[in-house]
């Protein structure tokens, strides 16, 4: 008799295990039960740690950051950088009027780019300090405005360029999905620091002139840099043995009740079609063999 189906613990990204053959179920009621296949391998924490993507260093020897086991609800900070360069525009059509050369048409070089990169060169305490310092500096400069740092940050994020805002939103969605693959805890990520600057290639920034008819608008840098600090924290947990239940757009929470109430009708339906099939099976006779398939002795 085949063994009942067993649930297998899946360790998803970033902890993707290397294949090592059949794995014993860690969620089975009977810890000494049968295994799937011939070989066995206990999926304990040590094997997960050794074989996981997080524990395996990258080509530079850096390992992924993981929260200690004794601090499951620890708040985590991450530093990210967005570098954005707009398309280069050059005048393609010129005309001289009264000795003054005027540009009439722009030509785009289609060389714009945008990169979203992690900045691992910060300790957790350092990033938490950056957040606290940003709050203190804002409150010291804007005491009379009556607007909190959190509200000002939300307004600045909302006013970002559409392309940068979209890439930042994708980053947040990826972090939230990756951090919520357990039925026992819910975690959220939020932007706590946003600093806009310029991609700096020299020790000092260049002296920029003001341009425009009235010289009120300063020249924009060719490449803009955004330094961002994300904060991830646990916002809810459950003590239920099996955790929160799964549902999706096509799931039916009342399927057990529906199956119990319609059990008799479904059995009657099956009996009816079985009776019809038996009746047709008696009436049908096998077709004569094709001449090509007749074996002559």
What radius of gyration, in Å, describes the C-alpha atoms of the chain?
Answer: 32
Q: For residue 130, is pLDDT > 60? A: yes
Q: For residue 106, what pLDDT is reported? A: 62
Q: For residue 251, what pLDDT is reported? A: 94
Q: For residue 110, is pLDDT > 70? A: no
**Buried b or exposed e, range 111-149, using 16+ CB within 10 angstroms:** eeeeebeeeeeeeeeebbebeeebbeebeeeeeeeeeeb
Q: Which residue has the higher pLDDT, 6 or 154?
A: 154
Q: For residue 237, what pLDDT is reported? A: 92
Q: For residue 9, is pLDDT > 60? A: no
Q: For residue 54, what pLDDT is reported? A: 62
Q: Which two tokens stand for residue 271?
A: 């009996």
Q: For residue 156, is pLDDT > 70? A: yes
Range of lowest pLDDT (45-54, 86-95, 206-215, 220-229): 45-54
Residue 10 to residues 13, 31, 218, 295, Cα–Cα distance (Å)? 10, 17, 54, 57
The model's pLDDT over 34-51, given as tens digits with 9 standing for 90+, comes to 444 444 444 455 555 545
Q: Tell me what the pLDDT averaged over the chain comes to.
A: 77
Q: Which residue has the higher pLDDT, 212 or 226?
A: 226
pTM of the model: 0.64
Q: For residue 52, what pLDDT is reported? A: 57
């Amino acid at each position: 008799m085949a063994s009942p189906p067993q649930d297998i613990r899946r360790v998803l990204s970033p902890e993707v295990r290397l294949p090592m053959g059949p794995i014993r179920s860690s969620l089975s009621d009977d810890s000494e039960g049968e295994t799937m296949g011939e070989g066995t391998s206990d999926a304990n924490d040590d094997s997960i740690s050794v074989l996981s993507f997080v524990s395996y260093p990258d080509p530079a020897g850096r390992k992924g950051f993981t929260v200690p086991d004794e601090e499951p609800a620890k708040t985590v900070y991450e530093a990210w950088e967005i570098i954005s360069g707009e398309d280069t525009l050059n005048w393609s059509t010129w005309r001289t009027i009264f000795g003054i050369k005027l540009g009439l048409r722009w030509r785009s070089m289609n060389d714009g780019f945008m990169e979203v990169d992690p900045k691992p060169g910060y300790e957790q305490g350092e990033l938490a300090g950056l957040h606290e310092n940003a709050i203190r500096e804002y409150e010291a400069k804007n005491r009379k405005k009556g607007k909190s740092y959190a509200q000002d940050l939300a307004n600045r994020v909302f006013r970002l360029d559409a392309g940068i805002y979209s890439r930042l939103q994708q980053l947040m969605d990826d972090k939230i999905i990756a951090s919520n693959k357990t039925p026992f805890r819910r975690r959220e990520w939020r932007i706590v620091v946003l600093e806009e600057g310029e991609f700096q290639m020299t020790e000092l920034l260049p002296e920029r002139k003001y341009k425009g008819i009235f010289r009120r608008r300063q020249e924009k840098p060719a490449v803009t840099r955004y330094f961002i600090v994300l904060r991830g924290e646990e916002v809810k947990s459950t003590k239920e043995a099996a955790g929160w239940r799964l549902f999706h757009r096509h799931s039916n929470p009342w399927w057990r009740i529906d199956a119990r109430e319609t059990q008799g009708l479904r059995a009657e339906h099956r009996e009816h079609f079985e009776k019809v099939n038996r009746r047709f099976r008696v009436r049908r006779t096998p077709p004569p063999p094709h001449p090509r398939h007749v074996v002559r002795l």
